[in-house]
Structure 1
């Protein structure tokens, strides 16, 4: 540090002290390491390239250096490597340092000055554009600055996708709890860490950020832009460029990447060449892939390699993502989960899921919303008591709706909201009164007509699966008062050569579904496209899961409670569809109960009605409740208990397979298990507490359970023996299914004594447990083998095994393509370990599964999942040949 620096080419440099007769080059590098890191940072890429050309660095060394994030870290890595190369190589590197530095110094100074000015100007632009969080329906003059209003979102490192036929808000609301609670499986990360190495071999260059609508993806992008402009958080990037797919949708002709960027960031026009040449210091954020109208066209055969090469937008985007265009740039794509399977999975280095707010962050949000910690905490605690409101508050957009409603409902003499529809009804009334400036005339016919027009737009765009529409394409928009448009619609203005185009969407997609249900419920004229008619659903590709939230809103809007609110504040008469809808709901509940169809959403619809007297009309011949493959949230479980409290019948079957049910849920369910005949709870990770609850049900004196399914629940010996002890005093159970667990021969051997104390148990199926070939053989010849079933043979007969296979096959028909791969892989392993002998009906199984998988392969739209199904099909084919 105390060395006298000499001048070289107008610059002071420690390198002018080399060579020195009194010390070796290696010693010189070690002694002046700190100075060298400062001096070489700007030239490190040239130096390592030269080192590779001269064979001074191996390819592994070169990769180790270039994977480091930031030039100073790269220099440190290089100096560490030189330490191990010896005196001769150290001397050569010192000469390379001086040559490269001298050659680049003059031209670099001029360019660097212009480049630095561009960075500064760009940050000023981003700061101005991203200083405030955009809040829909903010009152006149209200501004919410990032510095005092941003609440951190919870991010987990992982991959998550949904089929389009599912309602993503509801499905993710269920999965989110599992994601947030399993930090051993999913790594929780901070916003700034998404660009860092986290137990990875290399720093990620292509990053996919997914999350449901309203979860905060766009705010996440805005926060990165804000922090880049205002702080040094992302100092490893010189430029951060953001583009939205809404804007890209308006480009219909061939264009270039340069032109796309210039439209959004015109102030960078003269600097783009330098930005492209230093693309390793460039971060590009592409926001809203789910809104891209060409989302299914990016799996390319031909690529774009130059920023000035003309091509269609899907080609340009696909080339960026596949590292053919600007391969050194870092690319972030945000999307709702419904369409991310159309992104080539192999091109993504890191998957990040925005799971929304945790409990503490919801409270933080309430305090910041009301700008009063005491008031915010008070309202937060009242919401926390309501499972329905609180569970959905993990979505920032819904959190905002709840806060807006609770700020205004008391002054309107509206009862406290209990259900999801309550919240949206109150939201409608409050916004009409306080945001649309209709305080004295909400009951005016013009206002009600405007709301119906909005509902008509929502309904017909909902049927077409559209969340975006252009203002000039929708005649009804022209008839809406501006205050209505501004209150409920988000408008994005895009400048084109021929003029400005306005792209509209509802402020949140659940608001669109609410208005669609509102229009359907209170529209008196019969509709040509009646969404409740099966032929219409089939024609418009409206799968039942896709309509789940619409049905809940429709049911809630027809409740007496909300009809009273709407009559009081809008002079809206009750729905004339109430009797028809109620009959449909009752008939659907009975049909699903008797046939064992998934019933979860119908239970929610019943709960939205809040009319316990309706249950008196639900009298199925048999009560079968199937909730399988729905990852249950607290509100889901709440509606199940609500229903069971009202229906006083024995439960023929309760299926909670693959629902992530846990001990807390089972404890709440315990009072009803004594009247359950068949209870399926497989494919859940059950801990010892969960097993204790199940054993408690088995030992109950009035237990009626005859079948218990615990397959693939990660049972260990201790858990299995707990069940064994419970069965010693049970007089009802006939069949126990524990396939695919971790039960050893030692535990099974002890379980054989069950016949001494229990006379009702006929079989315990243990296919695919931790049993070796010799242990299987010993069990087969055991006198009690008819109780312990460890392989498939004719002893139990075709009907027994066909029942088991029928259950598996029925599960497959209900599963998504991704779920099929996971589930059938478990089945495949179980069959492979059971050492069964070939029979005609086993051959039929394999033929059946082969045909089923072939059909799924044919209709699977996602390449990587289709390949997995093809592999699975081949595995079953080879297994059948061995039987």
Structure 2
């Protein structure tokens, strides 16, 4: 017999034989303390015939868990060394069940023999079984998606495609694109607050937020997501609207009774979750759809997972990290809704499909290459449709409509000549699905018109509208079977694809409910109801326009002073509006209302609503649009900017323009243009997309006066630039910075702006412009003799593009300011700009900061300035300029008396170069400051220049 070693908390396997019996004896109390699950061990010992049923019954009969472990160890030891080794093998293999013993097993270096490794190990651990159940549940839930208008569900893999996902900061500034969905859970990139735990995913309606979560679920269910995640809990935020103010739940009931219940030992599963919260991922979809009159501010926060609290308090405590701190929480909401900064660990925007995404999606939907080409050509010819395709939902609807008409009309895949609005697309989709009820045969095609289809389906459409409208008034998006029945919808109507059945979790457990495929569809049918229902008067028609009214007034009071305030829209919402406020569903209703009441829809609707009522509603809407826009703009902040009367508009203005565009009425566009009593529109940070540019152009081309237009920091891309073409004739200032504009968009600018030659300011900072685009911009500078300001920083312009631009600058007698920060023109580009600077008559401000300029380029610029009398401000920050360059600038200062500001921040200048610059200053009376911050000067060296106030070293 071997000698028993002295035990420690951790140890090594004793030498000699028998080994494992002695090991279990030596560490008996360690095992008794940490083995909390004897059932799993018994299952494996029984499976491999190491214990009998009678043995298992003896163990289970023990009164306490420690007694069960001791009895089990006694039995195993009595069976011999092989059984003891197998017990250790099970402890090692089932890490979730015996997590506390893993360090000990590693410390003793346990390695099972080949014989033991060949034995079957069953994982009946409650935590592992619950993880398997969650994977199965989420796998089934994420495999299929019920697509718009489909009787059957489609495979998510056939429909889903990644979109542009952008990391952003607290102020929504871009932090770069996310390469894959795994990046959402990556703890190394895009972190805004290390202490926060919520990843916030924001995006416009239809951009694919819910589908992204469904994709994540599928990846986790199939084991392709972070292996450390053992629990995945998915909740729709609207669930929390189902509870009454008096309802309370503990966290365990919320997770198990209202999501997925463990088949065995729920207490053990919950205890594991509390102990290892970092193994859990929570997703909360659609915070904007949460509607409740529960006053969250009056309820105390909860930090105990065991104490009952209102479900909304649990939600807020989970998001803030007060509950299950360490777990990852992923929250989605529509653009415009914000959550407190202290909640935000990471923030991302879903930007939808890029042009390359659109092409990939077209290849997936239309495998035939000829059809792909025809489809993309027609989209390219119709910028409005192409812009809509940036939103995945709309793209899918449009492509499905193309597929329908291609099959229905034997390959005649043609678009109507007129502009297709969003209303047209939804009308088109509605017609497609109404026609699905028509009998078909091999020899006869459906040939009924859109008017005939809507006339035949008017009962169904009216019932859908009644249901949608009733929900919209109460911000209700999920309907009970009783509510559906009350709307007079028939069983056949439910199969058309407008509504889908869902199992909704509520206080009473799972119950069958219904919802519109998407909130925009509910908005469409709400607007349809307001137009076609005889009982809806002009006052009621405009009830969803409340937000457009000036402060203190309702929308109805603006046009109809006798109409009472809309209590249905105010409602009793959460006392803290942020983060639970959103009104996009009202805005979409207004948008579709404008489209349905447009003149182009008169033929369609005249069979559904009396002509007199239609005319009356249209007139009231037109008057309201004009009055609202004029009143809204009148109340916006204004300021005088270099001779312009500038107005700072807000996102509401974008919605107004969308509605006006949806009417497709030139008369309405003209009236709206009269209401714009300013000649400089600032629309920065308005969440405008490319489709909004066609709405903006629809109004602005009626202005007939020169305008400044600032659209910086939106999401316009090249499509948006194309859609602005009709108003370029009036624009003297165009600012499109931070808008994903590429060379293709710049080409459009060149072709249009050189026709009118009135441009004075062109801002294209932080886009995706290369040397190709730089050549187009150089042509603009050559031909537009009034251009004074050009901003091209943070693009992708190299020395080639730099030379072209410099040549154009040299030939321009009007240019006053050039911004080239953050490109890579290098020394070659710098030399070209030096040539342009020499004897230039008008250039006053120039930035070549962060452009990779080193010694030769810097010396050329310094020498050129000896013959320049126009430049006042010169930025050369963050380049590679050294003392040799500083010496040349010192020589320049002895000659040039007109330069006032020279920034040489973050270069490679030492005390020697600073000394040369300081020695030149007494000979210069014009220079105000030379900035040397961030160069190679030590603090004690910088003190040498304290007396020279114009030389700033720190």
SS in 2 for 1:584: helix
Query: What is the CA-CA distance between 1:638 and the residue it aligns to?
Result: 2.1
Match of 1:592 among 679, 696, 702: 679
In the alignment, what sits opposite 1:405? 401
Q: Residues 658 and 145 of structure 1: is their aligned pair in 2 closer, same or farther, counting only changes over 3 Å?
A: same
In the alignment, what sits opposite 1:289? 287
Q: Is 1:679 paired with 2:758?
A: no
In the alignment, what sits opposite 2:318? 320
Q: Residues 116 and 461 of structure 1: is their aligned pair in 2 closer, same or farther, counting only changes over 3 Å?
A: closer
State the Cα deviation string for residues 464-498 of structure 1 (Å, max 9, x = none).
Answer: 9x9755669x9999768675996656776746458
Query: What is the CA-CA distance between 1:786 and the residue it aligns to?
Result: 0.7
Separation in 2, partners of 1:264, 1:111: 26
Match of 2:719 among 635, 642, 650: 635
Separation in 1, partners of 2:788, 2:185: 50
Instruction: Within 5 Å, give how 1:265-304 maps onto structure 2.
Output: 265=259, 267-268=261-262, 271-279=265-273, 280=276, 281-293=279-291, 303-304=301-302
In the alignment, what sits opposite 2:167? 158
Query: What is the CA-CA distance between 1:455 and the residue it aligns to?
Result: 9.0
Structure possessing the higher relative contact order (Cα contacts under 8 Å, 6 or more residues apart): 1
Instruction: Within 5 Å, give how 1:578-589 maps onto structure 2.
Output: 578-585=666-673, 588=676
Query: What is the CA-CA distance between 1:630 and the residue it aligns to?
Result: 3.9
Match of 1:225 among 201, 207, 217: 217
Q: Which moved more, 1:673-682 or 1:648-657?
A: 648-657
SS in 2 for 1:331: strand
Match of 2:769 among 656, 662, 665: 662
In the alignment, what sits opposite 1:517? 591
Segments of 5+ residues of structure 2 without an aligned counterpart are 1-10, 23-84, 113-120, 439-447, 525-584, 598-616, 638-646, 730-750, 905-920, 929-944
Q: Is 1:257 paired with 2:251?
A: yes
Q: Residues 697 and 409 of structure 1: is their aligned pair in 2 closer, same or farther, counting only changes over 3 Å?
A: farther
In the alignment, what sits opposite 1:134? 146
Given that 1:724 and 1:751 are in contact with CA atoms closer than 8 Å, whether structure 2 keeps it comes out as: yes
SS in 2 for 1:524: helix
Match of 1:533 among 624, 629, 647: 629
SS in 2 for 1:246: helix
Q: Residues 485 and 627 of structure 1: is their aligned pair in 2 closer, same or farther, counting only changes over 3 Å?
A: farther
SS in 2 for 1:260: helix
Given that 1:192 and 1:233 are in contact with CA atoms closer than 8 Å, whether structure 2 keeps it comes out as: yes
SS in 2 for 1:311: coil
Match of 1:698 among 785, 788, 809: 809
State the Cα deviation string for residues 7-42 of structure 1 (Å, max 9, x = none).
Answer: xxxxxxxx997432899x9xxxxxxxx999965545
Q: Residues 317 and 234 of structure 1: is their aligned pair in 2 closer, same or farther, counting only changes over 3 Å?
A: same
Q: Residues 783 and 318 of structure 1: is their aligned pair in 2 closer, same or farther, counting only changes over 3 Å?
A: same
Query: What is the CA-CA distance between 1:245 and the residue it aligns to?
Result: 0.6
Separation in 1, partners of 2:810, 2:459: 62
Match of 2:662 among 543, 548, 557: 557
Instruction: Within 5 Å, give how 1:85-124 maps onto structure 2.
Output: 112=124, 118-124=130-136
Given that 1:209 and 1:354 are in contact with CA atoms closer than 8 Å, whether structure 2 keeps it comes out as: no
Instruction: Within 5 Å, give how 1:389-468 maps onto structure 2.
Output: 389-390=385-386, 392-409=388-405, 416=415, 421-422=420-421, 424-435=423-434, 442=451
Q: Residues 312 and 156 of structure 1: is their aligned pair in 2 closer, same or farther, counting only changes over 3 Å?
A: same
Segments of 5+ residues of structure 1 without an aligned counterpart are 1-14, 26-33, 51-70, 83-89, 99-108, 164-174, 180-184, 560-574, 802-833, 840-878
Separation in 2, partners of 1:582, 1:493: 49
Query: What is the CA-CA distance between 1:776 and the residue it aligns to?
Result: 11
Q: Residues 329 and 320 of structure 1: is their aligned pair in 2 closer, same or farther, counting only changes over 3 Å?
A: same
Given that 2:501 and 2:515 are in contact with CA atoms closer than 8 Å, whether structure 1 keeps it comes out as: yes
Separation in 1, partners of 2:468, 2:171: 23
Q: Residues 611 and 332 of structure 1: is their aligned pair in 2 closer, same or farther, counting only changes over 3 Å?
A: closer
Instruction: Within 5 Å, give how 1:617-656 maps onto structure 2.
Output: 618-620=703-705, 622=706, 624-630=708-714, 632-640=716-724, 643-644=728-729, 649-656=756-763
In the alignment, what sits opposite 1:311? 309
Separation in 1, partners of 2:777, 2:469: 38
State the Cα deviation string for residues 93-139 of structure 1 (Å, max 9, x = none).
Answer: 87xx99xxxxxxxxxx999355555555544444443331121222x
Q: Residues 35 and 729 of structure 1: is their aligned pair in 2 closer, same or farther, counting only changes over 3 Å?
A: farther
Given that 1:452 and 1:519 are in contact with CA atoms closer than 8 Å, whether structure 2 keeps it comes out as: no
Separation in 2, partners of 1:772, 1:298: 60
Query: What is the CA-CA distance between 1:297 and the residue it aligns to?
Result: 9.5
In the alignment, what sits opposite 2:154? 144
SS in 2 for 1:317: helix
In the alignment, what sits opposite 1:215? 207
Separation in 1, partners of 2:258, 2:319: 20
Separation in 1, partners of 2:302, 2:506: 24
Match of 1:248 among 240, 244, 254: 240
Separation in 2, partners of 1:558, 1:124: 48
State the aligned residue count.
688
Separation in 1, partners of 2:878, 2:184: 40
Given that 1:208 and 1:332 are in contact with CA atoms closer than 8 Å, whether structure 2 keeps it comes out as: yes
Q: Is 1:722 paired with 2:832?
A: yes
In the alignment, what sits opposite 2:875? 766
- Give TM-score, length-normalised by structure 2: 0.57
Separation in 2, partners of 1:378, 1:667: 31
Q: Residues 323 and 659 of structure 1: is their aligned pair in 2 closer, same or farther, counting only changes over 3 Å?
A: closer
Query: What is the CA-CA distance between 1:727 and the residue it aligns to?
Result: 4.0
Query: What is the CA-CA distance between 1:461 and the residue it aligns to?
Result: 10
Q: Residues 549 and 762 of structure 1: is their aligned pair in 2 closer, same or farther, counting only changes over 3 Å?
A: closer
Find the structure with the greater CA-based Rg: 2
Q: Residues 232 and 205 of structure 1: is their aligned pair in 2 closer, same or farther, counting only changes over 3 Å?
A: farther
Q: Residues 321 and 37 of structure 1: is their aligned pair in 2 closer, same or farther, counting only changes over 3 Å?
A: farther
Separation in 1, partners of 2:359, 2:903: 54
Query: What is the CA-CA distance between 1:753 and the residue it aligns to?
Result: 4.1
Query: What is the CA-CA distance between 1:243 and the residue it aligns to?
Result: 1.0
Separation in 2, partners of 1:468, 1:776: 71
Separation in 2, partners of 1:311, 1:640: 53
Query: What is the CA-CA distance between 1:408 and the residue it aligns to?
Result: 3.9
Coordinate RMSD, CA, aligned: 6.0
SS in 2 for 1:651: coil
In the alignment, what sits opposite 2:910? none
Given that 2:379 and 2:386 are in contact with CA atoms closer than 8 Å, whether structure 1 keeps it comes out as: yes
Separation in 2, partners of 1:684, 1:297: 46
Query: What is the CA-CA distance between 1:276 and the residue it aligns to?
Result: 1.4
Separation in 1, partners of 2:336, 2:431: 32
Given that 1:762 and 1:787 are in contact with CA atoms closer than 8 Å, whether structure 2 keeps it comes out as: yes
SS in 2 for 1:188: coil
Q: Which moved more, 1:438-447 or 1:284-293?
A: 438-447
Given that 1:388 and 1:420 are in contact with CA atoms closer than 8 Å, whether structure 2 keeps it comes out as: yes
Query: What is the CA-CA distance between 1:677 and the residue it aligns to?
Result: 2.4
SS in 2 for 1:222: helix
More helix by share: 1
Query: What is the CA-CA distance between 1:204 and the residue it aligns to?
Result: 12
Query: What is the CA-CA distance between 1:557 and the residue it aligns to?
Result: 3.4
Query: What is the CA-CA distance between 1:680 and the residue it aligns to?
Result: 3.2
